[in-house]
Structure 1
């Protein structure tokens, strides 16, 4: 099966301080992503792995396909990471000097192209001095990427003509 992709849906990588955003046609390497946020000052690393599930609303999903307006999606995702760094505050049970950040590093990797059932389509890793901040930031980043990033998915279902698969906002 040959699939052609629009020129706007291209691989991209952008670093924001110690954090990174990646759009890739390649399989996401979870261990590598975790290592990318590791830091001696991190007491916690929160990880979210979103995988292609095999069903949706009673239909058998055979695969997903992702496309993005990569240039704008990267700007949106880097803005989301900047916002998380600024908005996630240190929990009151672990006060620390202002020089110690609530979030040390974030990584957001999103697949483009075809993602088979069972494979990750998005991986988010967040390191922090403490678990609460890592969990809060990881969830905030996930929800913001799904609501705001210019990434679309197409679900293919067993027994349905491929031409009828519709592009959807990446919010589900």
Structure 2
């Protein structure tokens, strides 16, 4: 419950260095999660990938501040940054600020962010195929989250995370009920 703040800093200082940074958060009630991710390309021919996704419900709030810095000497940089969030209630809020700061000429860099609800057309399609609304919502949320989970290299850990996320989405795991912090 309460507040989670993550600050991560990556420095790619050796030629050809690579950094992959992934994050997934499922928040509800009065929870707040804040992610700051800074990737600094200091050497040539480095690559980075940031993918952060969140599902926020109730009055939960979130913030994502991602920064990609490319030094003038970091020619040949390839950098990608994406933050996507789904708001499950009208009271959930997400602030997102993807940033690129580029001082080199020969680079491939992109960034993007979305904040929205579950896709009504996808829900309608799934229901027209006999899937009830609750299961359709769960399947869409799980598919959304799995884009992050699929990047876990260790199969046993990836499978465990898939199971934990599905249990959490189904409400089978604590939804802030057993935490020590008394919110709201």
TM-score class, shorter-chain normalisation, is under 0.3
Look at both structures and tell me which one has the larger radius of gyration over its CA atoms.
Answer: 2
More relative contact order in 1 or in 2 (CA 8 Å, sep 6+)?
Answer: 1
The structure with more helix, counted as a fraction of residues: 1
Compare the two structures and name the one with the higher strand fraction: 2
